[in-house]
C-alpha cells in the first residue's frame, strides 16, 4: 500500500525557489492498476522520483507498506527499490552491449540472495513477454517494443509488489504500445500492482483508476472499472 | 556472493570499453616499467661501485706522486716519492706492506707485425701480495729479476689478446718502446680500475729495469700501494701517511700536498658524486612516471563516470547501494592498474635485459615485481577512489534522466 499525505517538493536554484508538488494526497492499494495522468511541467517526473524512492519529499509523508520513507536511509531505500519495485522507463534504460537475459538479471546483482535458478527464471520471464528466441540479443538488435518488453521482464525478476512505469509507451508506435499495455493488463490480472504515469489520456484510460494531477496537486480521481 | 557479482560487472566493463582499458593499462604500464628499469639500474650501479671498491682493495691505500690531479695514476716522469718515504710508510702502525712501482701510460708495444699500446708498470715482487694478483700462467716478476735488471715481463690479458690472439705468448719476446722483453707469465684478470680504465691492459716488468732502462727515473718512485691490517683503519693510516710525506718533503703548512693519497673512502665518494645527479634525475622520473599514469587513470575513470551516469542511475534505481557503486568502480580501477602493473613489470624486465645486453650494469631481482604490485595497487586505490566516490554520490534521479 502506498499513501501520500500532503506531500510537497520544492527545488531551489540560486535564490529562486520553485514549488513543484504542492500537497499531494492519494493512496494506492495492493493489486490496483492506477494511471497518474499529468501533462509535462506539472511535476510528473518529480512525483515519479518520489514514488520510486529515488528522491525524498520536502514535507508531508510517504508511507510505503506502512513505513515512512522519510525516516529511511540511502541503503534502506536501495533495498526497497531492489525488492519491492520494478521500474519501467520511457527510454527503456537497458544496458548497452549486454544481452537481454543479462539485462533482466541486473536487479539480482544487488540482491542479498541470488536464486540458483535465476537464469531459468529470467528466461521464463522473457518467454512470458514473447521474447523466447531473443534471450541473447543485445538492445541494439531489438525493436523498441521488444526492448520495452525486456525492461518489463527486468522489472519482474525480483517479484516486486509494485511496477512503476514512466510513459512506458512514449517511445513506441501504436502497435507496440498496445502490446505493452496488454502485458500490463495481464500482470494486473495476475495480482501485480501497476502504476503508470503518463500524459496520454488514451493510455491512462486503460487503467482501472486515474489520478489526475494539475499544478502540483491532485485535481480529481476517476474510477473506470 | 554479491561482491563477486559486482566484481563481474567491473570485469565486463573492462572488456566492453576496449579503448579506455587500453589507454589506462598503457599509462600504468609505462609508469611501472620505468620504476622497474630504474630499480634494476640503481642496483646495477651499486653493484658496480662495490665491484670497483673490491677491485681497488678495501684494505689498500694508494700513494701518487704529484698533487693537484684528481684521478689516474702518476707516471714516472712526475715521480717524487723517495726510498725513505717508502721505508717510513712501512714503519707506520697497522701497515703490513708497501709496494712501490713505476708507471708509464700508453706505451707502444710490438710483437712481430702486431702493435698495441698498454700501461707498463715497474714492480717489486711484493706487488703480487699488495694487489692480490699474480700470474695465472708462467712465472711472476721475482726479486732476482729486480736484482739483475732482467728484461722480462708479465702481460695482462688484453695485451695477450691484442698481440697473440689465441697462441701462447710465454717465451716470446715483445718490444716495449724498442726494448725487447721476454714474456714469462700472464697476469690474472682483474677488470675495470676504479677510474674506469682497463686493468687488464697492463704489462708489468721489474722495478729496476723500468727505472733505469725504460723510464729513466733512477731516483724517485712514481707510486706506492700500502696495505693495512684492518680495512676500518684505512682513514686513520691515510692521515698518518700524509703527515709522514709532508714532513719528509719539508713542506710548509701553507703549501699544498705534492702527492695524492687515495683510499676506498675516496673512491666511493668519487664514483658516487659522478653518478649522484643522474641517480636523482632517474628517481625523479621514476616517481613522476607512475604519478602521471595514476593521473591518466583518474582522468579516464572520471570521464567514464560522467559517460556512464545513466548506467549508474539505472543501477541505483534497481537497488545498487552507494557502496556497491564505489566497489564497482574501484574494482575497475584496481584491475586496470594491476593489468598495467603486470605488463609494466614484464616490459621493464625486457628493457632491462636489453640494457644489460648493451653493456649497462643491471641487477634483475624479484623486487621489481613486488614494486609493480605495490605501486599499481597504490595507484589504483589512490587515483581510483575519487572517481568511484563521485559515481556513488550521483543523485540517482538526476543520473537517470541524463
A-B contacts at Cβ under 8 angstroms: 69
Rounded to a whole number of angstroms, the distance between the first and last alpha carbons of chain A is 19
What is the rounded distance in angstroms from the CA atom of residue A2 to the CA atom of residue A67?
A: 9
Tell me which H or E stretch contains B343. Answer: helix B322-357
User: pLDDT confidence of A127, banded at 50, 70, 90?
Assistant: very high
Note the helical H segments in B149-263. Answer: 157-164, 207-209, 234-248
Q: Contacts of residue A93 in chain B, CB cutoff 8 Å?
A: 310, 314, 317, 400
Rounded alpha-carbon distances, angstroms, from residue A56 to A9, A14, A52, A84, B361: 8, 20, 10, 17, 66
Start-to-end CA distance of chain B, whole Å, equals: 31
Dihedral pair phi/psi, residue A189, rounded to 5°: -65, -20
* DSSP-based three-state secondary structure for B190: coil
Three-state secondary-structure class, residue A135: coil
Residue A124 in 3-state DSSP?
Answer: helix
Residue in chain B nearest A81 by alpha carbon: B319
Look at A109 and B401 and tell me if their CB atoms are within 8 Å.
Answer: no
Q: How close A10 gets to chain B, by Cα (Å)?
A: 15
| A50: closest chain B residue by CA | B397
CA distance B401 to B323: 22
Contacts of residues B87-91 at CB distance under 8 Å and 24 or more positions apart, as own/partner, are: B88/B244, B88/B248, B89/B63, B89/B224, B89/B226, B89/B241, B89/B244, B89/B245
Provide CB contacts within 8 A for A113, sequence distance 6+: none
Residues of B whose CB is below 8 A from A154: 318
Residue-wise pLDDT tens digits, A134-161: 999 999 999 999 999 999 999 999 999 8
Question: Are B314 and A93 an interchain contact pair (Cβ–Cβ within 8 Å)?
Answer: yes
pLDDT in tens, B324-346: 999 999 999 999 999 999 999 99
pLDDT above 90 coverage of chain B, percent: 55
Question: What is the helix (H) or strand (E) element at residue A166, kind and residue range?
Answer: strand A162-166
Residue-range domains of chain A with CATH:
29-53+83-223 (3.40.50.300)
Q: How many CB atoms lie within 10 A of CB A100?
A: 28
Contact call for A109 and B6, based on CB within 8 A: yes
**Is the CB of A45 less than 8 angstroms away from the CB of B319?**
no
Give the DSSP letter of residue B203.
E
What pLDDT, in 10s, does the model give residues A74-96? 999 999 999 999 999 999 999 98
ipTM: 0.94
Residue B98 forms beta bridges with which residues? B226
User: Could you say which of B2, B310, B314 has the minimum Cβ distance to residue A112?
Assistant: B2
B83 Cα distance to chain centroid: 37
Q: What is the pLDDT of residues B242-280, one digit of tens each?
A: 999 999 999 888 888 889 998 887 777 777 777 777 778
Q: What is the pLDDT of residue B231?
A: 84
> Which residues of chain B have a pLDDT value below 50?
none
Which segments of chain A does DSSP mark as H helices, in order? 44-51, 74-84, 100-109, 118-128, 144-156, 174-189, 201-204
Domain ranges of chain B: 2-51+269-400, 60-229
Test the A interface: residue of B12, B307, B318, B401 with most A CBs within 10 Å:
B318
B252, burial (CB in 10 Å: exposed 0-12, middle 13-18, buried 19+): exposed
Amino acid at each position: 500500500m502506498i499513501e501520500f499525505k500532503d506531500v510537497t517538493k520544492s527545488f531551489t536554484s540560486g535564490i529562486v525557489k520553485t514549488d513543484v508538488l504542492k500537497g499531494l494526497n492519494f493512496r494506492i492499494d495492493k493489486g490496483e492498476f492506477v494511471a497518474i495522468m499529468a501533462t509535462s511541467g506539472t511535476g510528473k517526473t518529480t512525483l515519479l522520483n518520489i514514488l520510486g524512492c529515488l528522491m525524498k519529499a520536502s514535507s508531508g509523508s510517504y508511507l510505503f507498506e506502512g513505513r515512512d520513507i522519510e525516516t529511511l536511509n540511502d541503503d534502506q531505500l536501495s533495498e526497497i527499490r531492489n525488492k519491492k519495485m520494478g521500474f519501467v522507463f520511457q527510454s527503456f534504460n537497458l544496458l548497452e552491449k549486454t544481452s537481454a537475459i543479462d539485462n533482466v538479471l541486473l536487479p539480482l546483482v544487488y540482491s542479498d540472495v541470488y536464486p540458483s535458478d535465476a537464469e531459468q527464471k529470467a528466461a521464463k520471464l522473457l518467454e512470458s513477454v514473447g521474447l523466447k528466441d531473443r534471450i541473447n540479443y543485445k538492445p541494439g538488435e531489438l525493436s523498441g517494443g521488444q526492448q520495452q518488453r525486456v525492461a518489463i521482464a527486468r522489472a519482474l525478476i525480483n517479484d516486486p509488489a509494485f511496477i512503476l512505469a514512466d510513459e512506458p509507451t512514449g517511445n513506441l508506435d501504436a502497435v507496440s504500445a498496445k502490446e505493452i499495455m496488454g502485458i500490463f493488463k495481464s500482470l494486473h490480472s495476475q495480482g501485480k500492482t501497476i502504476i503508470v504515469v503518463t500524459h496520454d489520456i488514451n493510455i491512462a484510460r486503460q487503467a482501472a483508476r486515474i489520478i489526475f494531477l494539475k499544478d502540483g496537486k491532485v485535481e480529481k480521481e476517476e474510477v473506470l472499472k | 556472493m554479491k561482491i563477486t557479482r559486482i566484481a563481474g560487472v567491473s570485469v565486463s566493463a573492462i572488456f566492453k570499453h576496449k579503448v579506455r582499458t587500453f589507454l589506462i593499462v598503457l599509462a600504468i604500464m609505462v609508469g611501472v616499467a620505468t620504476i622497474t628499469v630504474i630499480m634494476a639500474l640503481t642496483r646495477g650501479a651499486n653493484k658496480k661501485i662495490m665491484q670497483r671498491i673490491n677491485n681497488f682493495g678495501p684494505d689498500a691505500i694508494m700513494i701518487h706522486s704529484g698533487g693537484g690531479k684528481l684521478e689516474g695514476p702518476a707516471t714516472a716522469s712526475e715521480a717524487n716519492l723517495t726510498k725513505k718515504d717508502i721505508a717510513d710508510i712501512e714503519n707506520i702502525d697497522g701497515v703490513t706492506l708497501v709496494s712501490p712501482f713505476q708507471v708509464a701510460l700508453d706505451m707502444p708495444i710490438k710483437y712481430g707485425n702486431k702493435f698495441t699500446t698498454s700501461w707498463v708498470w715497474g714492480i717489486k715482487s711484493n706487488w703480487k701480495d699488495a694487489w692480490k694478483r699474480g700470474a695465472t700462467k708462467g712465472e711472476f716478476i721475482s726479486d732476482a729479476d729486480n736484482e739483475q735488471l732482467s728484461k722480462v715481463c708479465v702481460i695482462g690479458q688484453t695485451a695477450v689478446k691484442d698481440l697473440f690472439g689465441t697462441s701462447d705468448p710465454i717465451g716470446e719476446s715483445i718490444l716495449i718502446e724498442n726494448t725487447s722483453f721476454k714474456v714469462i707469465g700472464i697476469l690474472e684478470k682483474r677488470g675495470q680500475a676504479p677510474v674506469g680504465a682497463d686493468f687488464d691492459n697492463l704489462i708489468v716488468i721489474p722495478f729496476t729495469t723500468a727505472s733505469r732502462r725504460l723510464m729513466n727515473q733512477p731516483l724517485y718512485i712514481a707510486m706506492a700501494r700500502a696495505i693495512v691490517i684492518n680495512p676500518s683503519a684505512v682513514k686513520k693510516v691515510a692521515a698518518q701517511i700524509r703527515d709522514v710525506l709532508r714532513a719528509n718533503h719539508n713542506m710548509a703548512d701553507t703549501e699544498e700536498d705534492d702527492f695524492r693519497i687515495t683510499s676506498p673512502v675516496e673512491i666511493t665518494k668519487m664514483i658516487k658524486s659522478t653518478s649522484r645527479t643522474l641517480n636523482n634525475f632517474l628517481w625523479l622520473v621514476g616517481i613522476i612516471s607512475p604519478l602521471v599514469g595514476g593521473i591518466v587513470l583518474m582522468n579516464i575513470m572520471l570521464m567514464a563516470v560522467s559517460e556512464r551516469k545513466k548506467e549508474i542511475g539505472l543501477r541505483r534505481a534497481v537497488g545498487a547501494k552507494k557502496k556497491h557503486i564505489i566497489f564497482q568502480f574501484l574494482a575497475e580501477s584496481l584491475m586496470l592498474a594491476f593489468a598495467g602493473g603486470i605488463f609494466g613489470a614484464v616490459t621493464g624486465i625486457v628493457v632491462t635485459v636489453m640494457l644489460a645486453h648493451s653493456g649497462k650494469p643491471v641487477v634483475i631481482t624479484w623486487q621489481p615485481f613486488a614494486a609493480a604490485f605495490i605501486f599499481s595497487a597504490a595507484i589504483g586505490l589512490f587515483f581510483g577512489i575519487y572517481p568511484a566516490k563521485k559515481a556513488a554520490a550521483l543523485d540517482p534521479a538526476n543520473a537517470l534522466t541524463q
